[in-house]
């Protein structure tokens, strides 16, 4: 090395400075190496975990909801494909921009947009949020094509509950809907409930058997890339699909009953008196549960709420009405069982009777003349039952009513059933505050006054009579999953005196089948066709003395909500009763004119269909069809 | 050091001798670093979803490096005095290009950086990196130690630095501006700038930085600085890249996850993994061992540069060699410190490893100049002779 001599001063200076700079450089490299050591050795485990959390995403596999069938395997509630678009908030950096871009392919209203933004702010960032659902194939295909350019946007083919019979079964099946905050809390924050598009049973059978129908969620761990797109499956734990349910209903009969109601406000219950199977439980008007599942518009909701026919109320279980003359069956049996009344004892009906200073009227102004028990039932003579009540008092009537299932909720799966009311002397004291009067007993003896009953209760009542005094309980569920509830065993007898039961049965046969009976015009004729029954007419207004004097205003001349309720309870065939029917027509006019014709047609239909003896569907083993063979594979919906 | 001499005055060196004098060690080290780049870019070509590999980036990298290597040889074989005589014209040309970019430049990534001249896309700030080192070296070659610290003679050098820095800052390209500023300052320091001036400049620099923060920096630049200070504060916002980069590096551990197995990189949690964040990918897939190996390779290159500078008989050569090497060092330090979350995100690639042709050409031309200094280290270049002829 021979530096220029003239340059030596510069060279020395340069050498020193270069040494300083090099040391600085070395120092920087030392710092970089130290940082690498810190990241890759000291804190490495922590970063490894973070990297793994980045890479692996847990996805919940919602189980396929169990389907619901009628007794012959007709699909009542199924799952249909639901094309939807979901957002995974953690994969999106520019939320507004993403919504704008998605908005070019499918319409997102301002309202919906606000709701989505709110939902995203509330939920954990890794949980997907449903942006739109029930898309058409065309919309779905468009979104699918552009999804790779829209990070965090996930097209998804999920499933949605569908009720093919819509309002015809609304009050039986109920509906499913998105879980509320409260539902999530009640389920201990089950992440399944937070899966977008997941729905739980909110009413009806969907709610009662929600746990069974819902099934068990599976989980899947997937490797995702930075924008949350699934790269491959890492591991999977399959869930269990929900159990299928088979009901006792005969959908054909249900359809018939619904149509026969013809839009009138009312309900029809048809039961098998031998095993309590509910074959039809129709009500009108109702609502379309599919609308509730997809989200009801405010307008539809208001329309349902303000409808004076109360489509939201389950009339068969929750509608409580005075049973009217149908209750005379109870009064008659109470009288006979009490031993205080001889069935051949006659009372004279001249159209009214007196109790102290009060007058109690028969529905037939000119009176029925001399009546024994059988004719009292056949003609539905009020005065006869007033006289009976005068003799036996309230207590045996209350007891008999309770034995026939009145005043109690029959729990067969549909939630919200009402108990009705069977008053007693003690009840009045406690609730109304006042002494029980003989007048109260008079009113109750003909099914008025404080008495309240639901259509299902009256169906059970007439079933118990038709079965010869057995403790019939209604049932709606035949099978749940592989658990078959049995064909139904004969019910225990209630311990009534058979000859009295036969006598009252004879009376209600006479009502329909003997000239002069209140429903003689509605009798069934034809091979194997016959029906017995009892009508009931319930006043919903007070008839004043003046009006009674000048002639009671006819139902047709009154506004709808002041018209009488019409009842009919009956069974058939008369020689070997199998089917019981209860019909209520709200504000329909009299029992014989409004309810009995419906009951007659429904009874003819059920006798012709004879659903109880036809081969049914389910896992009972004696059928060619098996539920397990039909239950769906584990849902791939997510 | 070496036993040969080609004449005391050494006016000419025969071509065959130049070949003999090529620093094969330096070539080897450069090739080794470029090979690391090739391997990493080959790894980025793996599409985990499609289970397919696209080697095109790695191959392009290889092609570019080969071309750059040839270019380096050509530059190396040209007499260092030719480069010296071209220093000022090159600087003037680069400055004109920078002004051109200011007026007609193409906006890319929110900044004006490119100039289209016919079919060729020129990035004037890259040209300036070479030109500034050359012209500063030439100017300082003509100054005595005393003159370096004298305002009258120092001022042209300072102006020579600040002019392009200001233009590049305006583009805005904060990273390159700082690179030039620090590179220039280092040359002044090496030339013997008195400690007094160094101190005053440091204070002034601090004040200027504060002023720049208040009035000159764009929001995204400020955000980057703030993010670097606390990358975890907003993991999905501005700090996302840094946070993900740290996770990737940390998850690599001592030995790494293996070639093509870096989940952070392969699943795109890492941004710009083939350019600015390629060091992160290396650290994830090859661990501390791999990352340190690369840093040692860089260090050896710098050491070669230092010894070439020290063995140069002429000041111009020392300055050029140190200038190029210091710029090289700044690239490495800024890039690696950035991906490790030590400094703000600045768009500075990792030399010879990151994908990109422009910076590779700049660096290899620079290395060619260093090599030229090495080959022509014994040539006598008088202080007042600025040119070869």
Residues of B in contact with A46 (CB under 8 A): 250
When pLDDT is cut at 50, 70 and 90, the band that residue A225 belongs to is low
| Contact of B94 with B101, CB cutoff 8 Å | no
Q: Check: CB of residue A342 under 8 Å from CB of residue A335.
A: no
Nearest to A315 by CA among A567, A81, A78, A84: A567
Question: How many Å is the Cα radius of gyration of chain A?
Answer: 36
Residue A624's pLDDT band, with cuts at 50, 70 and 90, is very low
Most confidently predicted of A232-246, A269-283, A288-302: A269-283
Rounding to the nearest 10 degrees, give the CA dihedral for residues B264, B265, B270, B274.
Answer: 170
CB distance from A430 to chain B under 8 Å?
Answer: no
Largest CA-CA distance found in chain B, in angstroms, rounded: 66
Contact A35 B342 (CB under 8 A): yes
The model's pLDDT over B363-386, given as tens digits with 9 standing for 90+, comes to: 999 999 999 999 988 887 777 665
Domain ranges of chain A: 66-224+236-247, 251-290+314-617
Q: How far is A169 from chain B (nearest CA, A)?
A: 47
H helices within A455-533, ranges in order? 455-466, 498-513
Residue B312 falls within a domain, yes or no?
yes
| B344 min Cα distance to partner chain A (Å) | 15
Contacts of B108 (CB under 8 A, 6+ apart): B114
Question: Which A residues, 77 through 116, put their C-beta within 8 Å of a C-beta on chain B?
Answer: 90, 93
A481 three-state secondary structure: coil
Mean pLDDT of A329-345: 93
* Eight-state DSSP code of residue A89: G
- Name the nearest CA neighbour of A584 among A421, A459, A474, A407: A459
CB contact under 8 A, A9 and B144: yes
Report the residue of chain B nearest A50, measured CA to CA: B247
Bridge partner list, A283: A267
- Calpha distance B301→B318 (Å, rounded): 15
The answer to whether residue B14 sits within a structural domain is no
Q: Inform me whether the C-beta atom of residue A614 falls under 8 Å from chain B C-beta atoms.
A: no
Residue found under tokens 């390629």: B278
Cβ neighbours of A625 (radius 10 Å): 16
Contact (CB<8Å) B190/A14: yes
Confidence of residue B50 (pLDDT cuts 50, 70, 90): low
- Is B223 within the bounds of a domain? yes
- Which of the pair, A489 or A98, is modelled with greater confidence? A98
Which chain B residue is nearest to residue A52, measuring alpha carbons?
A: B263
- Inter-chain residue contact A50 with B250, CB threshold 8 Å: yes
* Residue B31: inside a domain: yes
Model confidence pLDDT, tens digit, residues A416-443: 899 999 998 889 888 888 889 999 999 9
Task: Determine, yes or no, domain membership for B381.
Answer: no
Query: In the predicted model, is pLDDT for residue B242 greater than 90?
Result: no
Residue B242's alpha-carbon distances to A31, B251, B277, B278, B294, in angstroms, are: 18, 14, 10, 13, 21
Nearest beta carbon to residue A17 from set B192, B252, B299 = B192
Residue A5, min C-alpha distance to chain B (Å) = 10
The b-or-e profile of A79-103 (16+ CB within 10 A means b, else e) is beebbbbbbbbbbbeeeeebbeebe
Interface test with B, best of A32, A223, A233 (most B CBs within 10 A): A32
**How many residues does the structure list for chain A?**
638
Residue in B with minimal Cα distance to A43: B250
Residue B386 located in a structural domain: no
Nearest to A33 among B192, B292, B329 (CB): B292
C-alpha to C-alpha distance for A307 and A315, rounded to whole angstroms: 14
Residues B11-36: pLDDT tens digits?
Answer: 567 778 888 888 899 999 999 999 99
Share of chain A above pLDDT 70, in %: 93
Q: Which of A21, A43, A223 sits opposite B189 (nearest CB)?
A: A21
Q: How confident is the model at residue B233 (pLDDT cuts 50, 70, 90)?
A: low
Q: At A621, is the pLDDT very low, low, confident or very high (cuts 50, 70, 90)?
A: very low
Q: Read off the tokens for A280.
A: 């039809």
Give the pLDDT score at A308. Answer: 86
What φ, ψ does residue A209 adopt, rounded to 5°?
-105, 25
Q: Pick the residue with more confidence: B104 or A272?
A: A272
A43 touches chain B (CB under 8 A): yes
pLDDT digits (tens, 9 = 90+) for A288-315: 999 888 878 788 888 888 888 888 888 9
Q: So what's the pLDDT on residue A540?
A: 83
Contact B295 A33 (CB under 8 A): yes
- Report pLDDT for B388: 45
SS3 for A349? strand
pLDDT at A386 > cutoff 70: yes
Using a CB-CB cut-off of 8 Å, the residues of chain A touching B236 are 90, 93
Q: Where are the alpha helices (DSSP H) in chain B?
A: 15-21, 24-44, 56-77, 80-104, 124-141, 145-148, 151-169, 174-190, 195-211, 219-229, 240-252, 263-266, 278-310, 315-339, 357-375
Euclidean distance between CA atoms B367 and B219, whole angstroms? 36
CA–CA dist A371, A386 (Å, integer): 12
B313: nearest CB among A2, A9, A21:
A2
Is A5 in CB contact (< 8 Å) with chain B? Answer: no
Q: Do A231 and B267 touch (CB under 8 A)?
A: yes
**What's the average model confidence in pLDDT over B138-156?**
88
Instruction: Using pLDDT thresholds of 50, 70 and 90, give the confidence band for residue B387.
Output: very low
Interfacial A residues in 366-425 facing B (CB < 8 Å): none
Least confident of A265-274, A467-476, A621-630: A621-630
In-domain check, residue B389: no
In angstroms, the CA B235 to CA B103 distance is 38
- Minimum mean pLDDT range among A219-223, A463-467, B270-274: B270-274
Mean pLDDT over residues A525-531, rounded? 90
SS (H, E, C) A398-409: HHHHHHCCCCCC
Considering chain B, what is the average pLDDT of its residues? 83
Locate B78 and state its tokens: 């040209």
What is the residue range of B114's domain? 19-375
Closest by Cα among A267, A269, A237, A242 to A253: A269
In chain A, which residues have their Cβ closer than 8 Å to the Cβ of B244?
54, 226
Tell me the C-alpha to C-alpha distance, in Å, between residue A143 and each of A1, A37, A146, A232.
73, 46, 5, 21
* pLDDT confidence of residue B203: 92
Residue A62, CB half-sphere, CA atoms under 13 Å: how many?
Answer: 23
Q: Which CATH superfamily is domain A251-290+314-617 in?
A: DD-peptidase/beta-lactamase superfamily (3.40.710.10)
**A19 — contact with chain B (CB < 8 Å)?**
no
Residue B297 has what pLDDT?
A: 96
- pLDDT of residue B219 exceeding 80, the answer is no
A124 interface with B at CB cutoff 8 Å:
no
The pLDDT-based confidence of A628 (bands split at 50, 70, 90) is very low
Domain count, chain B: 1
Higher pLDDT, A164 or B104: A164
Reduced to 3 states (helix: H, G, I; strand: E, B; else coil), residue A599 is helix
Q: A66-224+236-247 has which CATH code?
A: 3.90.1310.10
- Which pLDDT band, with edges at 50, 70 and 90, does B213 fall under? confident
Mean pLDDT comparison of A464-473, A557-566, B248-257, B340-349, highest-scoring range? A464-473
Interface predicted TM-score of the whole assembly (ipTM), two decimals: 0.89
Angle at A606 between CA A600 and CA A611, to 5 degrees: 170
Tell whether the torsion through CA atoms of A175, A179, A180 and A182 is positive or negative: positive
Q: B333 to chain A: which residues are within 8 Å by CB?
A: 28-29, 32
Residue B346, helix vs strand vs coil:
coil
Give the one of B190, B291, B295 whose C-beta lies nearest to A17's C-beta: B190
Q: Compute the count of residue pairs across chains A and B with CB atoms less than 8 Å apart.
A: 156
In this complex, the residue of B267, B310, B342 whose CB is nearest that of residue A15 is B310
Which neighbouring-strand residues pair with A157? A83
Average pLDDT of chain A is 86
**Which residue from B minimizes the CA distance to A15?**
B310
SS3 state of residue B378: coil
Res B228: pLDDT: 56
CB within 8 Å: B269 and A10:
no
* pLDDT at residue number A562: 87
């Amino acid at each position: 090395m021979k530096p220029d001599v003239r340059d030596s001063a510069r060279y020395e200076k340069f050498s020193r400075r270069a040494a300083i700079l090099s040391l600085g450089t070395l120092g920087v490299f030392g710092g970089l190496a130290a940082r690498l050591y810190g990241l890759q050795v000291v804190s490495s485990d922590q970063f490894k975990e973070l990297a793994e959390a980045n890479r692996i995403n847990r996805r919940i596999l919602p189980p396929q909801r169990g389907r619901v069938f009628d007794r012959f395997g007709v699909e009542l509630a199924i799952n249909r494909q639901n094309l939807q678009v979901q957002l995974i908030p953690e994969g999106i950096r520019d939320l507004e921009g993403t919504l704008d871009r998605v908005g070019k392919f499918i319409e997102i209203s301002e309202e919906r947009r606000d709701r989505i933004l709110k939902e995203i702010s509330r939920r954990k960032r890794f949980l997907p949020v449903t942006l739109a659902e029930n898309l058409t194939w065309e919309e779905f295909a468009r979104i699918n094509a552009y999804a790779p350019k829209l990070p965090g946007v996930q097209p998804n083919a999920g499933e949605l509950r569908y009720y093919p019979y819509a309002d015809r079964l609304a009050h039986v099946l109920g509906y499913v809907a998105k879980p509320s905050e409260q539902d999530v809390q009640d389920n201990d924050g089950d992440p399944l409930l937070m899966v977008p598009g997941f729905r739980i049973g909110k009413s009806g059978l969907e709610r009662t058997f929600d746990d069974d129908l819902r099934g068990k969620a599976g989980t899947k761990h997937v490797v995702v890339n930075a924008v949350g797109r699934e790269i491959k499956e890492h591991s999977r734990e399959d869930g269990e699909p929900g159990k299928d349910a088979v009901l006792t209903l005969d959908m054909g009969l249900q359809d018939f009953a619904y149509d026969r109601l013809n839009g009138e406000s009312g309900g029809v219950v048809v039961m098998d008196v031998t095993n309590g199977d509910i074959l039809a439980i129709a009500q009108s008007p109702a609502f379309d549960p599919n609308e509730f599942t997809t989200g009801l518009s405010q307008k539809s909701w208001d329309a349902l709420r303000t409808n004076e026919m109360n489509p939201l109320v389950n009339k068969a279980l929750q509608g409580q009405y005075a049973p009217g003359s149908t209750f005379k069956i109870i009064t008659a049996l109470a009288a006979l069982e009490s031993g205080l009344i001889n069935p051949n004892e006659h009372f004279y009906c001249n159209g009214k009777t007196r109790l102290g200073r009060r007058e109690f009227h028969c529905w037939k102004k000119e009176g029925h003349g001399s009546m024994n028990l059988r004719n009292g039932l056949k003609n539905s003579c009020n005065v006869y039952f007033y006289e009976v009540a005068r003799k036996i008092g309230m207590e045996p009537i209350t007891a008999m009513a309770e034995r026939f299932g009145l005043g109690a909720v029959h729990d067969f799966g549909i939630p919200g059933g009402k108990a009705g009311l069977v008053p007693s002397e003690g009840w009045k004291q406690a609730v109304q505050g006042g002494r029980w009067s003989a007048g109260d007993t008079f009113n109750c003896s003909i099914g008025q006054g404080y008495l309240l009953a639901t259509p299902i209760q009256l169906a059970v009542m007439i079933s118990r009579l038709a079965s010869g005094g057995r403790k019939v309980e209604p049932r709606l569920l035949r099978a749940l999953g592989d658990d078959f509830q049995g064909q139904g065993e004969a019910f225990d007898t209630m311990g009534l005196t058979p000859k009295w039961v036969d006598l009252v049965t004879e009376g209600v046969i006479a009502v329909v089948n003997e000239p002069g009976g209140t429903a003689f015009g509605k009798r069934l004729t034809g091979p194997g066709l016959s029906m017995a029954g009892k009508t009931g007419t319930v006043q919903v207004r007070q008839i004043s003395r003046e009006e009674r004097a000048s002639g009671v205003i006819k139902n047709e001349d009154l506004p709808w909500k002041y018209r009488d309720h019409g009842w009919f309870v009956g069974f058939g065939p008369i020689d070997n009763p199998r089917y019981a029917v209860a019909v209520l027509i709200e504000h329909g006019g009299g029992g014989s004119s409004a309810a009995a014709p419906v009951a007659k047609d429904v009874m003819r239909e059920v006798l012709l269909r004879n659903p109880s003896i036809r081969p049914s569907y389910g896992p009972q083993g004696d059928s060619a069809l098996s539920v397990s063979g039909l239950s769906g594979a584990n849902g791939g919906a997510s | 050091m070496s036993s040969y001499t080609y004449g005391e005055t050494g006016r000419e060196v025969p071509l065959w001798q130049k070949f003999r004098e090529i620093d094969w060690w330096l070539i080897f080290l450069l090739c080794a670093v470029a090979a690391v780049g090739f391997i990493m870019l080959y790894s980025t070509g793996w599409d985990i979803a499609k289970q397919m590999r696209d080697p095109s980036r790695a191959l392009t990298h290889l092609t570019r490096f080969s071309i750059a290597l040839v270019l380096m040889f050509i530059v190396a074989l040209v007499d260092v005095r030719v480069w010296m005589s071209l220093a000022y014209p090159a600087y003037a040309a680069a400055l004109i290009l920078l002004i051109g970019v200011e007026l007609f430049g193409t906006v890319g990534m929110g900044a004006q950086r490119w100039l289209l001249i016919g079919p060729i896309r020129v990035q004037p700030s890259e040209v300036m990196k070479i030109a500034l080192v050359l012209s500063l070296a030439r100017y300082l070659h003509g100054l005595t130690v005393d003159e370096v610290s004298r305002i009258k003679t120092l001022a042209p050098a300072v102006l020579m630095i600040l002019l392009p820095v200001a233009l590049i800052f305006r583009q805005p390209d904060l990273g390159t501006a700082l690179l030039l500023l620090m590179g220039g300052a280092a040359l002044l320091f090496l030339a013997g700038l008195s400690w007094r001036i160094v101190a005053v400049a440091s204070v002034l620099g601090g004040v200027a930085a504060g002023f720049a923060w208040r009035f000159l920096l764009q929001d995204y630049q400020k955000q980057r600085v703030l993010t670097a200070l606390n990358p975890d504060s907003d993991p999905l916002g501005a700090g996302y890249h840094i946070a993900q980069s740290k996770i990737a590096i940390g998850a690599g551990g001592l030995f790494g996850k293996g070639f093509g197995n870096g989940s952070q990189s392969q699943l795109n949690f890492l941004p710009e993994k083939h350019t600015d964040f390629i060091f992160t990918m290396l650290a994830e897939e090859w661990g501390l061992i791999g990352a340190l190996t690369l840093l040692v390779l860089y260090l050896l290159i710098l050491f070669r540069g230092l010894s070439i500078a020290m063995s140069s008989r002429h000041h111009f050569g020392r300055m050029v060699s140190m200038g190029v090497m210091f710029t090289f060092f700044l690239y490495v330090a800024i890039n690696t410190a950035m991906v490790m979350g030590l400094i703000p995100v600045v768009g500075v690639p990792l030399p010879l490893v990151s994908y990109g042709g422009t910076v590779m050409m700049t660096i290899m031309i620079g290395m060619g100049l260093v090599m030229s200094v090495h080959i022509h280290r014994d040539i006598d270049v008088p202080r007042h002779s600025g040119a070869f002829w």
